[in-house]
Structure formats: C-alpha cells, structure tokens
C-alpha cells in the first residue's frame, strides 16, 4: 500500500464502527489455538528447581520486579532438557499455601499456543515458585523500545496485537478474564518469534490470594476509583499496548487521546513505520485504541470483538514471525562450531581433541572459597589427582582418567566445570552415557551458560536414545556459544 504515516486520514468513529467492534461477529474461530502436546500441570520440589536453575544462579536471572511484588524470574532446564522460566516470590508473598496452589492449578489448566503456558509450581515451607514455558526471544518492550538491529515492522506489530487479543479471548472463554499488569513486558516471543502472553499475569495478587491489583504506569480510570481491576480494565491496558505499537513509545493515554482529537496523528505514529501502512489501516488501529481507552468501561470492546477487528488488518500472513522479526530460525545448525558438530555426530575422538586443546581456560572466574587449612592440608593431594587425570586424559587412558578425576571431585575443595566435562567424555567413551549426562549437567550447574556443558549433554542424550532432547541441548549450546562469541567480539 505504501502511504506515508503522516497522511493518515482524520479519525471519526461513528456509532456504526463502534457497534460492529463492540458486538463482534457471531462466528466461532476455527483454530482456537489449544495445544495438547504439553505435559499436564505438576508440582515440583524445590530441589528440582534448584537443580534446573543451577542453584538459582545470578547468570540465569531473566527479569526482576520491584517493591510492590518482589520476585525474580530465572531461566532453567529440566532433566528432560525442557527449558523453563521459574518465577520465585519473596518469602512473605502468598502466606496461604492452599490459596497459592489453588490459583496456580487453575491457571495451569490453560493450554494455548498464544500463551507462555504454566507448567507447574512449587510450594515448600515459605517458598512459592511458578514454572512456565521459557520464551527465548525477549519481550515486546525490548523489541519495541530498546531495539538494536531493526525496528519492529508494521506487519509484526499487527500480528502481536492479534495474538494478544486471541490470548485474552481464550482466557476469557476459560473463565480467566482478569489479567494483572498487561503491558509490553508481559508479551514474550518464542523460538519461532511468535508473540505469547505470559501466564504469570493471570495469577491473582499474592497479598491476599483473592484480588488483583495493578502496578501499571497508566491505570484505568475505574481502578483509581475502586482499587480493583475488571475485565474492562484489561481492555484499557490493551489500548495502551496499541498505543505502544503505534508510537514505538510508552505515551500517556490522555496525551494520545488529545493528539487523536486534534487529528495530530503524525505525532502519534512511529516515524520508523513511514511508508509501511495505508491511511485506512492506520486509522482503523487508532480507532480501536480510542475505543479501548474509553473512560466508561461499558463502552470498551470485548476480546472477541478485538479479534474480529484485528483479523482483517493482518499483513504478510504467509511470512514466518522469525523472518519479520529478524530472528535466526532455531532449527538452523549450519553454523555449528567444530565442538557442536562433533557432539552432533557423536565423534568422540574429535571431542577429545577439542577438549584437550581447550584446556582449563573456561574455568576462569569459577568461585572457589578455600580456608587456609584446606590449602595446607588437602590442596597438594587434590592437585596431584587432577594432574594425574589430565595426563591420563591426554594419553587416552580414559578409565585411569575417570579414577583420578573422581578423586579430585570427591575431595571437594575446589570445583571445576572442565574436570566434569572431561570425565563426562571419559564416561561416554566407556559406554556409560547416563554417568556422562550427569557430569555434563553438573558442569552446567557450576557454569550455567557454558556451551561445552550443553553440547556434551546433547551427545550423551543422543547415545541414550533421547533424540528430541539431544536436539534441544544442541540448540542451547549453539545459542550460548553465539552469545559468547558476540560478547567477546564486543570487548
């Protein structure tokens, strides 16, 4: 279409448009987006989640939230290689364990491909944790407000709001119409670059386990009066997200409505979008945002009518999201490093050569706290065991290497991810894949973002016959190595 953004036609939303959006067509969507290949909601032990997140390592923190709802979200990986996001509340949150479990189980019954689905929870002592699908490609806020390579394209912005509307429609149909803090940080992107709504926001407020509150910068008018949110309040927040996507900025709704009334739409729309959409499309989205931001809740559209209004606006529907977003496809392994290639082929000889050449340089920065007594009494013996293990490893006497490395590990005065990685390969060569997997996972506990540990897990899992899990571990290793290379290249 290719019209300039600055030439958007004046917006006049008459009763005919409003009625059509508010009521929505009486049709059922053919694809409700429900998924049945996810495991049922389960309860995890605290020990399982500690292991999955490498002891809640700082390196695995994905996000942190503030004073009103203190919690931290970690990236983790289960034993079956499923990547997870673990939200850990502070110890005073959710004092009633029964309420927490009931609420988590209720949200955990939802299963939809427009959601980052809740997989489980943990409730032990004072600890309260939620476990959800991990979304590896950042938040909408990152791609919209803090982009590096390219601004988000118009077609992708339209796809985001449609997926978000479909997520809200699904949740509403399942009796979960209320959402806590709907904002650009709650919209996540999966491996394929598709937008998903975080299910963490479906949980009621932790203070009393019964109500919802909001930490939004721009709160619905009725919340200021009552202190409570309603399904219509969620639509108001949806309207603020429409403004975010139109403007590329987080602007106050009152200011946006003033611009709309004054027909000053050039100030409202993102200059990065110039030439990407027609006057009619831009006007339609501005109209929809204005309806969502109506002062009276009853005048706002419902999720079903939002989906009806957004569906015909979609562009480039045949183009995959990862292409629109400029995200490399997760299934592409054409650029695997020599170690990644060796592990994918289970070429144990090549892996040995690479690990030997790598030495211990990746152990730099691993924290080891030792008392003076340990240094004087045990370190000499420990270092001798390690040196013997290294000599056996170099000479390909892998049984001797296992014995010596085990002596080093069992003393426990120092930890070394490299020793675990080397013993893992020795176990693989001696046809002990489960022991090899355990060591590779232990290496990652010590060094959570170490690509070598993920690659060795892939090799061990493939030998065990867990091919899907092996592919997942291989992807993980490739991602970690790419980030490592990028970081080192920027130094």
pLDDT band at 393 (very low <50, low <70, confident <90, very high): very high
The HSE-up count of residue 462 (CA atoms within 13 Å, CB side) is 19
344 in the same domain as 241: no
State mean pLDDT over 391-408: 93
Across the range 350-379, mean pLDDT stands at 71
- Of 298, 325, 352, the last residue of a domain is 325
Q: Which residues pair with 120 in a beta bridge?
A: 42, 131
Residue 454 to residue 470: CA distance in whole angstroms: 9
Question: Mean pLDDT over residues 28-33, rounded?
Answer: 52
Question: Of the candidates 325, 350, 380, which is a domain's last residue?
Answer: 325
Of the chain, the percentage scoring pLDDT greater than 70 comes to 84
Assess whether 194 and 216 both reside in one domain: yes
Q: Please, where are the H alpha helices in 116-274?
A: 140-145, 154-173, 221-226, 231-247, 253-261
Mean pLDDT computed over 430-434 = 93
H or E, element range at 130: strand 127-133
**pLDDT value, residue 278:** 83
| 353 lies in the same domain as 375 | yes
Q: Let me know if residue 1 belongs to a domain.
A: no
Does any domain span residue 411? yes
Question: Given this model, what pLDDT does residue 257 score?
Answer: 85
Q: What is the tens place of the pLDDT at every residue in 332-341?
A: 444 678 898 8
Residues 111, 178, single domain; the answer is: no
Spatial contact of 277 and 234, defined as CB atoms under 8 Å apart: no
The model's confidence at residue 308, banded by pLDDT at 50, 70 and 90, is very high
Name the least confident of 320-329, 387-396, 444-453: 320-329
Instruction: Give the DSSP letter of residue 277.
Output: S
CA torsion 156→292→28→110, rounded to 10°?
Answer: 80
Write down the pLDDT at residue 74. 94
Average pLDDT over residues 355-380: 67
Give the pLDDT score at 216.
75
Determine the average pLDDT of the residues in 309-317.
94
The answer on 178 and 127 residing in a single domain is no
Q: Model confidence over 143-171: pLDDT tens digits? A: 999 887 789 999 999 999 999 999 999 99
Are 280 and 421 within one domain?
A: no
Confidence of residue 466 (pLDDT cuts 50, 70, 90): confident
Instruction: Mean pLDDT check: name the lowest of 185-189, 279-283, 441-445.
Output: 279-283
Task: Give the pLDDT mean for 418-436.
Answer: 94
Catalytic residues: 181
Q: List the beta bridge partners of residue 214.
A: none
Lowest mean pLDDT among 42-56, 84-98, 237-251, 345-359: 84-98
Q: What is the pLDDT of residues 103-144, one digit of tens each?
A: 999 999 999 999 999 999 999 988 999 999 999 889 999 999
Examine the pLDDT at 15 and tell me if it is beyond 60: no
Q: Check whether residue 306 and residue 235 sit in a common domain.
A: yes
The domain boundary, picked from 325, 356, 389, lies at 325
Please check whether residues 58 and 206 belong to one and the same domain.
no
Could you tell me which of 186, 222, 181, 224 has the C-alpha nearest to residue 205? Answer: 181
Q: What is the CATH number of the domain that holds 230?
A: 1.10.510.10
* Alpha-carbon gap, residue 400 to 412, rounded angstroms: 19
Q: What is d(CA 280, CA 271) in angstroms, rounded to the nearest whole number? A: 17
If one compares 30 and 475, the residue with the highest pLDDT of the two is: 475
Q: Which of 428-437, 458-467, 481-490 has the highest mean pLDDT?
A: 428-437
User: Is 34 inside a domain boundary?
Assistant: no
For range 232-241, the mean pLDDT:
94
**Cα radius of gyration rounded to whole Å, the chain:** 26
Q: How many CB atoms lie within 10 A of CB 207?
A: 14
Let me know if residue 364 belongs to a domain. yes
- What percent of the chain shows pLDDT beyond 90? 48
Tokens 């300039």 belong to 4
Contact 60, 53 (CB under 8 A): yes
In a domain, 193, yes or no: yes
Is the pLDDT at 362 greater than 50? The verdict is yes
Give the CATH number, domain containing residue 78: 3.30.200.20
Residue 195 exposure: Cα atoms within 13 Å on the Cβ side: 28
DSSP 388-431: HHHHHHHTT-HHHHHHHHHHHHHH-SS--HHHHHHHHHHHHHTT
**What pLDDT is recorded for position 20?**
42
Give the Cα separation of 60 and 72 in Å (integer): 10
> What secondary structure does DSSP assign to 285-336, as a single string?
HHHHHHHHT-SSGGGSPPHHHHHHHHGGG---TTS-HHHHHTPPPTT--TT-
- Calpha distance 487→491 (Å, rounded): 7
Using CA atoms, how far apart are residues 412 and 80, in angstroms rounded to an integer?
Answer: 27
Q: In angstroms, rounded to a whole number, what is the distance separating the alpha carbons of residues 297 and 237?
A: 12
- The dihedral sign for the CA sequence 330, 333, 334, 338: positive
Q: From CA 203, how far away is CA 215, in angstroms rounded?
A: 14
Average pLDDT over residues 217-223: 86
Report the chain's mean pLDDT, rounded to a whole number: 83
Residue predicted with more confidence, 452 or 376 = 452
Looking at the domain assignment, is residue 296 inside a domain?
A: yes
Is-contact 263 10, C-beta < 8 A?
yes
Question: Same domain for 47 and 67?
Answer: yes
Pair 282, 207 in one domain? yes
Identify the pLDDT of residue 176: 93
Q: Are residues 298 and 347 in the same domain?
A: no
Number of domains within the chain: 3
- What's the mean pLDDT in 11-38? 50
- Asked whether residue 345 is domain-assigned, the answer is yes
Based on the fold, state whether residues 172 and 231 are members of the same structural domain.
Answer: yes
Instruction: Note down the domain range covering 162.
Output: 10-29+138-325
- pLDDT attached to residue 400: 94
pLDDT value, residue 266 = 76
Q: Which of 71, 318, 353, 313 is nearest to 201 (CA)?
A: 71
Confidence check: pLDDT of 384 > 60: yes
The answer on pLDDT for 33 being more than 60 is yes
**What is the four-CA torsion angle of 165, 171, 173, 177, rounded to 10 degrees?**
-90
Q: Is residue 159 part of a domain?
A: yes
CATH number at residue 442: 1.25.40.10
Q: pLDDT band for position 378 (50/70/90)? A: low
- Nearest residue to 227 (alpha-carbon basis) of 237, 217, 238, 213: 213
The two beta strands, 83-89 and 71-77, are antiparallel
């Amino acid at each position: 279409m290719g019209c300039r953004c600055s030439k958007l036609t004046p917006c006049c939303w008459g009763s005919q448009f409003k009625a059509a959006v508010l009521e929505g067509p009486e049709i059922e969507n053919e694809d409700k987006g429900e998924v049945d290949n996810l495991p049922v909601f389960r309860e995890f032990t605290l020990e399982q989640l500690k292991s999955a997140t490498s002891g809640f390592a700082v390196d695995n923190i994905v996000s942190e939230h503030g004073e009103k709802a203190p919690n931290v979200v970690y990236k983790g990986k289960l034993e079956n290689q499923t990547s997870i996001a673990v939200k850990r509340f502070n110890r005073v949150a959710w004092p009633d364990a029964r309420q927490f479990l009931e609420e988590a189980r209720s949200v955990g019954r939802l299963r939809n491909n427009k959601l980052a689905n809740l997989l489980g929870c943990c409730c032990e002592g004072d600890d309260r944790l939620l476990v959800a699908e991990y979304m590896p490609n950042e938040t909408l806020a990152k791609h919209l407000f803090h982009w590096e390579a390219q601004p988000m394209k118009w077609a992708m912005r339209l796809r985001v709001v449609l997926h978000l509307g479909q997520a809200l429609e699904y949740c509403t149909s399942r009796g979960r119409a209320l959402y806590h803090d709907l904002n650009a940080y709650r919209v996540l992107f999966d491996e394929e670059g598709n937008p998903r709504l975080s299910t963490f926001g479906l949980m009621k407020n932790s203070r009393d386990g019964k109500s919802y509150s909001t930490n939004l910068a721009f709160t619905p008018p009725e919340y200021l009066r009552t202190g409570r949110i309603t399904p219509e309040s969620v639509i108001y927040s949806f309207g603020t997200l429409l403004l975010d996507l139109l403007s590329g900025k987080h602007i106050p709704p009152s200011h946006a409505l003033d611009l709309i009334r004054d027909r000053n739409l050039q100030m409202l729309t993102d200059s990065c979008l110039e030439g990407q959409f027609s006057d009619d499309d831009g006007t339609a989205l501005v109209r929809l945002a204005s309806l969502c931001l109506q002062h009276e809740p009853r005048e706002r559209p419902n999720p079903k009518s939002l989906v009806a209004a957004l569906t015909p606006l979609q562009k480039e529907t045949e183009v995959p999201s990862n292409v629109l977003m400029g995200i490399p496809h997760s299934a592409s392994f054409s650029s695997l490093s020599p170690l990644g290639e060796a592990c994918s082929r289970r070429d144990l000889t090549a892996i040995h050569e690479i690990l030997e050449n790598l030495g211990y340089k990746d152990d730099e920065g691993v924290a080891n706290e030792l008392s003076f007594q340990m240094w004087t009494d045990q370190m000499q013996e420990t270092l001798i065991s390690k040196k013997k293990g290294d000599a056996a490893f170099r000479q390909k006497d892998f049984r001797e290497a296992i014995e010596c490395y085990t002596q080093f590990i069992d003393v426990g005065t120092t930890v070394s991810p490299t020793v675990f990685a080397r013993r893992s390969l020795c176990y693989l060569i001696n046809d002990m894949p489960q022991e090899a997997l355990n060591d590779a996972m232990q290496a990652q506990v010590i060094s959570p973002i170490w690509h070598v540990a993920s690659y060795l897990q892939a090799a061990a899992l493939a030998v065990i016959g867990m091919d899907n899990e092996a592919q997942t571990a291989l992807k993980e290793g490739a991602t970690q190595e790419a980030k490592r290379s990028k970081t080192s290249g920027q130094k």
